Amino acid sequence: MLAIFEAVAITLWLTKDNIFYLFNFSYIGVSIAIGVFLFIKNYKHARRVVQLLVGLYMLVYLGLISQENMQIEGFWYYLFTGVFEAATIHYAVAKIFGPLIFGRGWCGYACWTAMVLDFLPYKTPAQPRKAIGWIRYIVFAASLIFVAALFLAKVGNIERIMFWAFIIGNVLYYAVGIILAFAFKDNRAFCKYICPITVFLKPMSYFALIRIKCDKSKCISCGKCKRVCPMDVDVTDNSRKRENGTECILCMECTKNCPKKAL
Ligand code: SF4
Ligand code: SF4
Ligand code: SF4
């Protein structure tokens, strides 16, 4: 993972002639490497360490201090202006092409929304999934329409609007995420039903190179992996069509809890 992120860091630094990219992607790569090291050492909060290192950096430094809208509105904004800069690069690496390699690793190790939601008490869902995942497409379309309308109406100073959209959007995400977590007794309810980023993440992670696989010769079908999974993935099915397969956030709870080390 460090090698992948260093390759991105050096490529962008040299092609964009901007040393920020070297710092940015090296920092993320080193954070992930620290997490992998802690995971190998069986430190139980390894994932949370990475989530805080990367999530806080992106929210506080990139979002609040550098005033870069890294939410989906920011992605549309930079896409429409034709600027291949921070938010578009971030989406390309973390949410569009990166998932072909590391699936929804973003959701398990970097997202600043989930960084807060994962502190809530419902780490494994208490109830079956609800059939309301279609809401994500409405939120996705609304974000696109919002930014397109700003451009069509030729509103001035869209950059400033994007900064405030980032602040208000995050407050709304946290509020809705926390309310849903308590209502459904599920920390990740926001991820399952509302988050518009999953419109990119789900289809791309279907083809992910890095996946959890089950060694059927060791598995005793005890079902523990599914009970501890925050995303309701049927991880004992090795096919890409497994139930909720595109929801896996690589949190490793299933591998840690499998009594037969079959995962
Ligand atoms: S689904 Fe959305 S909110 Fe949840 S972790 Fe992924 S990007 Fe973050
Ligand atoms: S926890 Fe391990 S042994 Fe039990 S069903 Fe899952 S993979 Fe099989
Ligand atoms: S518990 Fe396993 S299957 Fe479920 S999200 Fe985490 S890594 Fe993926």
Residue-wise pLDDT for 34-86, tens only, equals 999 999 999 999 999 999 999 999 999 999 998 888 899 989 998 888 877 77
Identify the DSSP state of 245. Answer: G
Q: What is the phi/psi pair of residue 97, to 5°? A: -95, -35
Instruction: Give the C-alpha distances (Å, rounded to integers) separating 131 from 103, 232, 239.
Output: 23, 13, 23
As a whole number of angstroms, the distance between CA 239 and CA 178 comes to 33
Ligand nearest to the CA of 212: 3
Which of 96, 106, 111 has the most ligand 1 atoms within 8 A of CB, as the residue to mutate?
Answer: 111
Question: How many whole angstroms from 111 Cα to the centroid of ligand 1?
Answer: 6
Both tokens assigned to 22: 């070297």
CA distances from 196 to 53, 55, 95, 137, 252 (A): 23, 18, 11, 6, 24
Q: Is the pTM of this model over 0.75?
A: yes
Cα separation, 204 vs 51, in Å, equals 21
User: What is the C-alpha to C-alpha distance for residues 165 and 147, in angstroms, rounded to an integer?
Assistant: 10
- The 10s digit of each residue's pLDDT in 189-230 is 999 999 999 999 999 999 999 999 999 999 999 999 999 999
